[in-house]
Amino acid sequence: MDLKILISEEDITKRVREMAREIRDDYDGREIVVVGILKGCFMFLADLTRAIDLPMNIGFMGLRSYGSATETSGVVEIAADLSHPIQDKDVLIVEDIVDTGLTMKYLIDNLSTRGPTSLKVCTLLHKPDRKRVEVPLDYVGFTVPDKFVVGYGLDHDQKLRNLPYIACLEE
Ligand code: 5GP
């Protein structure tokens, strides 16, 4: 299988900085709780939060989603939950990719019941061609075509997460 670079390291760096500025301006000095969705978010979250000049708490959630290797069934389970409540907090979910939207829909519904002051979504990648449910995406880094993408946190069979760029797998 060959790798074809879709988004270079340089373009990611530039876009992540732009997103960080937009987030800082929108929250205007307020404290936020960043909720990273493991494992795919780790690289994006590290770069993004370093560039956001706001007071923040950072937490992580692990989600388990059932389905085939490349597609979720939408049946999602929380494998690791947040360690702190988010009631009365401004919460920003940080995700690697929104594909069908089923995982994000589950997450938004779940976190909404915990009484946050606000709940927004920041995703590095969006694959709109495969949308199955409508989810509000407040910050989107890049729109990608309907291809399986890897790198910059995203895996193929738990590998390739360490690539510094986003690539697609070609047979
Ligand atoms: P969704 O519920 O939106 O269909 O997808 C949720 C999860 O599926 C993402 O958080 C990600 O873990 C995985 N996923 C979806 N598309 C891709 C892709 O192109 N590459 C990789 N590596 N993971 C993907």
SS (H, E, C) 113-150: CCCCCEEEEEEEEECHHHCCCCCCCCEEEEECCCCCEE
Probe ligand 1: pick from 99, 129, 132, 137, max atoms within 8 Å of CB? Answer: 99
- The strand pairing partners of 118, in sequence order, are 90
pLDDT at 10: 98
E runs forming strands in the chain: 2-7, 32-38, 56-67, 72-80, 90-98, 118-126, 139-143, 149-150, 166-170
Quick one: which atom of ligand 1 is closest to the CA of 154?
A: 22
What is the chain's mean pLDDT, rounded?
A: 94
Residue nearest to atom 11 of ligand 1 (CA): 97
Ligand 1 centroid from CA 30, angstroms: 31
- Categorize the per-residue pLDDT at 170 as very low, low, confident or very high, splitting at 50, 70 and 90: confident
88-136 residue pLDDT tens = 999 999 999 999 999 999 999 999 999 999 999 999 999 999 888 999 9
| Mean pLDDT, residues 37-57 taken together | 97
Going along the chain from its start, the domains and CATH numbers come out as: 9-145 (3.40.50.2020)
65-94 residue pLDDT tens = 876 666 667 788 999 999 999 999 999 999
Q: Is the Cβ atom of 61 under 6 angstroms away from ligand 1?
A: no
- Categorize the per-residue pLDDT at 171 as very low, low, confident or very high, splitting at 50, 70 and 90: confident
Q: Is the Cβ atom of 148 under 6 angstroms away from ligand 1?
A: yes
